[in-house]
A = this chain, B = another copy of it.
Amino acid sequence: MQVASRMEAITPFYVMELLARAKQLEAQGRDIIHMEIGEPDFTTPQPIIDAGVAYIKAGHVKYTPAAGLPELRQKIADYYWQRYRVTVPIQRIFITPGATGAFLLALGVSLNSGDEVLLSDPCYPCNENFIHLFDAKVKHVPVYADTAYQLSADLLQQHWQALTRAILIASPSNPTGTIIQAAELEKCIHFVNTRQGLLYSDEIYHGLEYEPGVTSALAFSDQVFVINSFSKYFGMTGWRVGWLIVPEAYSPATEKLAQNIFISTCSQSQYAALAAFDEQTLAELEKRRQDFSLKRDFLYAHLLRLGFNIPVKPAGAFYIYADCSQFSNDSQQFAQQLLETEGLAVTPGKDFGYNEHEKYLRFAYTGSMENISAGMQRLERFISSKQTS
């Protein structure tokens, strides 16, 4: 019995091994500080919880339409108007089981096997693995500080080839936390349009931004795919609800595919998400955003002080991708030792691509300030001991 060949191209999350070891250590009584996990420790905002509970208690947890609850699609359309001054007809909006469901639909309706997609390296590995799922090809474009670790129109010009059909931009980015500037995003969209290509814009960290300049690709074109989610900014990770916006020409195919591969997205999560745009929820989310902003500043300052190199200050999401090459030429080994000796878990660069990954560590500031602060003390002690040994 043979595993499908696409599975060779799909990489596991290397951090899982580290996480398994962390859990082993915890089971032995060790106190572990987790800065490897991309899930905030905030609870879901209360109005969302209340809406979900009320819906379930009413007792009729039934399928919704495949494209999602019309009233939720409408609220998302309203949000695009309020936030970005962009009009999106609800026919182009599909509710999905998280951003992963949105990627499944977007790539399923638009990529043929053999098509090539340009991705920044580093990038979030799942995004790349969806491309492999459909037997399409990934072309990594190494990105550096000069473009804030984002693709640029110049890079597209250099790397676009005969089989290239699409690009994927994630801003704010996981793992770098950097954003693509609006003018550059517009240029990229223009470039892709001239090549009759597609753009997938991963906007799942929108809202979690601590500098101005975050723009939706929809601000420049209605011929793009936009992936978003209630997981990160809205604090609904475990609920698994997100959305996809498609160019109008793809709406019928997207609906057909959603009918077949989802039937519909989890109903109580959709009804709960109706409360995501309430004034009370948004006020709570703004408080959290400010809190994340403080944590970013704190972590950024500490990592710099300890001697890490962070050429571009992260502007969003909840990650810092720090160059640790002054301490080690093998970030995976560094992360393993840090876990073993100090009980601090961080993610090695290997999970995010091939471009100098051995130089980098990703720190997630998803825990409490006390937690992050204690983590920095452990990191400092670890580095001191390395330097004296």
Contact = CB atoms under 8 A, between A and B. Distances in A.
A336 to B, nearest CB: 21
Given A7-B109, A56-B53, A268-B268, A63 B135 contact: no
Given A133-B108, A253-B7, A63 B39 contact: yes
Contacts of A299: none
A24 interface: no
A314 B113 CA distance: 41
A260 B97 contact: no
Contacts of A250: 1, 3
A262 B97 contact: yes
B12 A63 contact: no
Contacts of A264: 238, 240
Nearest to A193: B1
Given A12-B256, A112-B4, A130-B260, A49 B60 contact: no
Interface residues of A, number: 69
Nearest to A62: B238
Interface in A185-209: 196, 198
A110 interface: yes
B263 A266 contact: no
A99 B352 CA distance: 31
A42 to B, nearest CB: 10
A239 B61 contact: yes
A7 B256 contact: yes
A5 B112 contact: yes
Interface string A238-273: 111000000101100100110111111111110000
B256 A109 contact: no
Contacts of A5: 112
A100 B253 contact: no
Given A1-B196, A49-B61, A97-B240, 16 more contacts: A1-B223, A1-B249, A4-B109, A4-B134, A6-B112, A12-B256, A12-B259, A39-B63, A61-B238, A64-B238, A100-B260, A129-B261, A133-B257, A238-B264, A238-B267, A240-B267
